Amino acid sequence: MGKPRPVCALACLLFLWVQGMLMAKVEATSSVHIVYLGGKQHDDPILTTNSHHDMLASVVGSKEMAAELMVYSYKHGFSGFAAKLTESQAQKLSELPGVIRVIPNSLHRLQTTRSWDFLGLPSHSPVNILHNSSMGDGVIIGVLDTGIWPESKGFQKIIGARWFVDGFLAEYGQPLNTSENSEFLSPRDANGHGTHTASTAAGNFVDNVSYRGLGLGTIRGGAPRAQLAIYKVCWNVLGGQCSSADILKAFDEAIHDGVDVLSLSIGSSIPLFSDIDERDGIATGSFHAVAKGITVVCGAANDGPSAQTVQNTAPWILTVAASSMDRAFPTPITLGNNKTFQGKGLYSGNDTGFRSLFYPEAEGLDPNLFRGGAGLIVAKNPSESLYPCTDGFPCIEIDYEIGTQILFYIRSTRSPVVAHFSSRGPNSIAPAILKPDVAAPGVNILAATSPLGRFQEGGYAMLSGTSMATPHVSGIVALLKAVHPDWSPAAIKSSIVTTAWRNNPSGFPLFAEGSPPKLADTFDYGGGIVNPNGAANPGLVYDMGKEDYINYLCAMNYNSTAISRLTGNLTVCPIEEPSILNINLPSITIPNLRNSITLTRTVTNVGATNSIYRVMIEPPFGTSVSVKPNVLVFNHGTKKITFTVTVTTAHQVNTEFSFGSLTWTDGVHIVRSPLSVRAEFLQPYF
């Protein structure tokens, strides 16, 4: 054979160079897309994955190329896959039969003790849900977060840990180890956020823990005997970023693993999308989880106090706002003469302590000013005499200068409040669905963290956010699941919402931080601050199942074909569109009331077999509310009763929301549903 001529060699090189450039161009324009196929058609994961490869190969040209481009196959809880695709390939896939939607990968973000005693679950009390549930023994809490630091004390309970990064790396290619951020390609937590949330939900008892000398004592999680399954989906880049593709894969695996509760302190950047919008992996994954009986608990986000900032708004999710609790820390007040006074920022127990600071005039004090109080601090000039206090009534005399300092202290250390940062309602996507559902402690929460995390000392950190509130509720859900293993996610959610506290431990209404502060309402805290012991024995629950959520989707104008693919079963929406107001939620929100409207609810008796409940109405301002029947009689043959609620407004113009409640009581249980109404005549909603 003769030697190849130079022109041929050059042509070959040129061909290879052009081909390489074309491939580079294709790769440069490729990005991760999620091909969502809805419910599974069969239970064989191998066949499901093979069908995903076949579908992808039909667009990209070969099974070999499909295998190279495939990022994830979702094959357990639902069907679909994530793959690197060009826009044209994504478009072709979206047109194939059986494809619900093809969606671009997106980023979610993290929502960056004493709390359990505050919630009525002291470990030393023999009678509460903590002990009745054996502290959550046998329940599995799945945590989707930044992973876990397994060596931290309190984690001798991790039964599995997985990590999902392919979606993040394939899409964003961010370096995970930099001079600013360290990271592990494993379930190990470099950020600390995931360790903190897992510790709060289910950490074992750990003695002698403090943070820089503050809060010394024993810490534990809400369900200290529950087991943990860890799903690392968030990565230590830009404060913590989480890919939709990775989140969906974690949901898929968690459903397959058989967890009982899923805890996600993760949200998305506002503006928000629709409840099962293509960009919302949490709403989609949680739909399939709830359909399998798994309660999904998510944070409301940290974009408060502005209205309509709440996230994770799907009705099947239990969405948690953040409150403070009854603990602050000692703060010395030093005067100009270097004399120091020690103040206490603690609000603990039912005794309010000293509530008033009074500056008297020379004529003395009027006893009526402090009648009904628990104590009196009198700021006065040293030369002035003190008006005698009532026998047994505690008084302290101080001068004006010290009094000014104490007044500042009183004004800055209130009882529990809804935190300033906690995202608020109303729901911007479906205004008739109340969000948030409930509030829990989320301010200055002491828990374990990664030794590589920020703000940590000795492996512990005191953090704030709805991220910290969420695992409080996740732990409580685990306790409820242990006591009531047959309860559905909706029943658990109902028990939490209808028994929550609207008042502080002294009986005073809760406030919400903001500019200015105000009395808290339903859009700040949902039903109120979570009450674990009350939730264990709610009396009645508003239960729901998959059919109720399908009616919700029909009311939100999803077509029958899309819903059928979502559920994996043939589904036909009713000819007459369901009213979203009739979704059997434990709350009633009417965003566009014109004149009068009637809606229905159904309650299930989970208390004593023979029970009689009577209704109590606190109507929102400017409305009248009637309920039929107004007495519910339960017995062996009657476990469920449906009733109607008619709300009428006297307004003939648009109004803001006003708030009230509908409560059923048998003299033992108080089953309270938040009621929110806005009159709107210009833009009818229904």
CATH code at position 133: 3.40.50.200
pLDDT band at 355 (very low <50, low <70, confident <90, very high): very low
pLDDT at 224 over 90: yes
Q: What is the pLDDT of residue 332?
A: 44
Q: 231, 201, 68: which is closest to 135 by C-alpha?
A: 201
The domain boundary residue, chosen from 104, 123, 146: 104
Tens digits of residue pLDDT in 635-659: 999 999 999 999 999 877 788 899 9
| 548 vs 9: which has the higher pLDDT | 548
Residue 508 and residue 388 share a domain? no
| Residue for token pair 């996507």 | 429
Catalytic pick from 53, 193, 196, 484?
A: 193
Segments forming the whole domain that contains residue 623: 584-679
Residue 467 annotated to the active site? yes
**pLDDT at residue 660 tops 90:** yes
Q: What is the pLDDT of residues 321-335, one digit of tens each?
A: 999 875 554 444 444
| Distance (Å, whole) CA 388 – CA 378 | 11
Query: Of 467, 474, 488, 564, which is the active-site residue?
Result: 467
| 133 inside domain | yes
**How many domains, in total, are found in the chain?**
4
446 shares a domain with 348: no
Q: What single-letter DSSP state applies at residue 607?
A: S
Residues 427-464, buried b or exposed e (16+ Cβ, 10 A)? Answer: bbbbbbbbbbbbbbbbbbbbbbbbbbbeebeebbbbbb
Same domain, 342 and 310: no
Domain assignment present for residue 3? The answer is no
Q: Confidence band (pLDDT; 50, 70, 90) for 575?
A: confident
Any idea what the Cα angle at residue 64 is, between residues 60 and 66, rounded to 5°? 40
Are residues 291 and 165 located together in one domain of the fold? yes
Rg (CA), the chain: 29
Active site residue 31: no
- Residue 427 pLDDT > 80: yes
Q: Which of 51, 79, 108, 145 is catalytic?
A: 145
d(CA 278, CA 587): 27
Highest mean pLDDT among 77-86, 252-261, 385-394, 558-567: 252-261
- Strand, helix or coil for residue 31: strand
Residues 426 and 478 in one domain: yes
Instruction: Look at 216 and 613; give whichever has higher pLDDT.
Output: 613
Stated pTM of the model: 0.82
Residue 404 pLDDT class (50, 70, 90 cuts): low
Question: Can you tell me the distance from the alpha carbon of 197 to that of 297, in angstroms, rounded to the nearest whole number?
Answer: 12
Q: Is 490 domain-assigned?
A: yes
pLDDT at 139: 96
Residue 81 belongs to domain with CATH number: 3.30.70.80
The one-letter amino acid code at 284 reads: T
Q: How do beta strands 261-264 and 241-243 pair? A: unpaired
What are the tens digits of pLDDT across the range 247-296?
A: 999 999 999 999 999 999 998 754 444 545 545 689 889 999 999 999 99
**What would the pLDDT profile of 95-122 be if each residue is shown by its tens digit?**
999 898 898 888 887 765 567 777 888 7
Average pLDDT, the chain: 82
Residue type at 153 in one-letter notation: K
Tens-place pLDDT, residues 483-539 = 999 999 999 999 999 999 998 777 788 889 888 888 999 999 999 999 999 999 999
Report d(CA 256, CA 35) in Å as an integer: 20
Provide, for the chain, the percentages of residues in helix, strand and coil under a 3-state DSSP scheme, each rounded to the nearest 5.
25, 30, 45
* Cis preceding-peptide flag for 305 (omega within 30 of 0): yes
Say whether both 216 and 259 belong to one domain. yes
**Are 477 and 597 part of one and the same domain?**
no
Short-list 512, 69, 567, 585, CA closest to 314: 585
Is 7 a domain residue?
A: no
Task: Establish if 284 belongs to a structural domain.
Answer: yes
Same domain (yes/no): 123, 249: yes
- Same structural domain for residues 184 and 84? no
115/163 same-domain check: yes
Residue 80 lies in a domain: yes
pLDDT given at position 364: 43
**What are the residue ranges of helices labelled H in 268-323?**
281-291
In the residue annotation, 145 being an active-site residue is answered as: yes
Report the C-alpha dihedral over residues 318, 322, 327, 328, rounded to 10 degrees: 160
State whether 160 and 287 are in the same domain: yes
Query: Residue 675's domain is classified under what CATH number?
Result: 2.60.40.2310
Within-domain flag for 143: yes
My answer on whether 126 and 90 are in the same domain is no
Q: Which of 371, 393, 412 is the last residue of a domain?
A: 412
Q: Which of 104, 125, 155 is the last residue of a domain?
A: 104
Judge whether 546 lies within some domain: no
pLDDT at 460: 87
